[in-house]
């Protein structure tokens, strides 16, 4: 299997401005996920879940006053959030699926699916039962995956594409 660095800019062809189920307003820094997995944990694929990158650290859950699980006041580059049936954004309380862009070494993708693997720098992969290892994310749509990769590329991360 060959792996190539994607050096040309990934094109971003727009985004859906609202959640398909709730109508909740979304922005270009919202990426709907099907599921996230680490070595030991996985989110439920039945949740309406998003990764969200807010301007200057202003995150959706914080706009609604929810600071649960933000007790240590650390800065998150991309926050994992759940959109509840009540219309509120909430943090996933069972595990920290947030991303810190400075801890990511590279991103692996395959063109023909909606999966992304985020490879962490040695020792910067966050605590789990042990180190959590790399993160695998599956997006709801290919277009959403492409927008996410475009964002990461603009942040200076290396995107590697494997040939099928």
**What domains lie within the chain, and their CATH numbers?**
3-162 (2.30.29)
- The residue ranking higher by pLDDT, 147 or 74, is 147
Q: What is the pLDDT of residue 139?
A: 96
Do 131 and 103 touch, CB atoms closer than 8 A?
no
Q: Given pLDDT bands bounded at 50, 70 and 90, which one contains residue 13?
A: low
What distance in Å separates the CA atoms of residue 158 and residue 13, rounded to the nearest whole number?
Answer: 20
Average pLDDT over residues 108-116: 92
Q: Given pLDDT bands bounded at 50, 70 and 90, which one contains residue 31?
A: very high
Global pTM reads 0.77
User: C-alpha distances in angstroms, 124 versus 41, 97, 103, 121, 135?
Assistant: 17, 14, 5, 5, 12
Least confident of 32-41, 108-117, 118-127, 140-149: 118-127
Q: Helix or strand or coil: residue 149?
A: helix
Q: What is the pLDDT of residue 131?
A: 64
Q: What is the pLDDT of residue 77?
A: 84
In the predicted model, is pLDDT for residue 105 greater than 80? yes
In the predicted model, is pLDDT for residue 64 greater than 60? no
């Amino acid at each position: 299997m060959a792996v190539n660095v994607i050096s040309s800019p990934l094109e971003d062809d727009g985004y859906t401005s609202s959640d398909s189920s709730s109508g909740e307003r979304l922005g270009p820094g919202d990426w709907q996920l099907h599921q996230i997995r680490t070595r030991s944990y996985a989110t439920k694929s039945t949740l309406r879940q998003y990764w969200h990158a807010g301007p200057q650290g202003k995150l959706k859950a914080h706009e609604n006053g929810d600071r649960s699980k933000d007790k240590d006041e650390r800065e998150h580059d991309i926050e994992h959030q759940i959109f509840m049936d009540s219309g509120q954004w909430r943090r996933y309380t069972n595990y920290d699926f947030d991303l810190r862009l400075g801890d990511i070494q590279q991103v692996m993708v395959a063109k023909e699916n909606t999966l992304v693997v985020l490879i962490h720098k040695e020792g910067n992969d966050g605590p789990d039962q042990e180190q959590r290892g790399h993160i695998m994310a599956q997006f709801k749509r290919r277009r959403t995956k492409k927008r996410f990769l475009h964002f990461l590329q603009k942040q200076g991360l290396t995107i590697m594409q494997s040939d099928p």
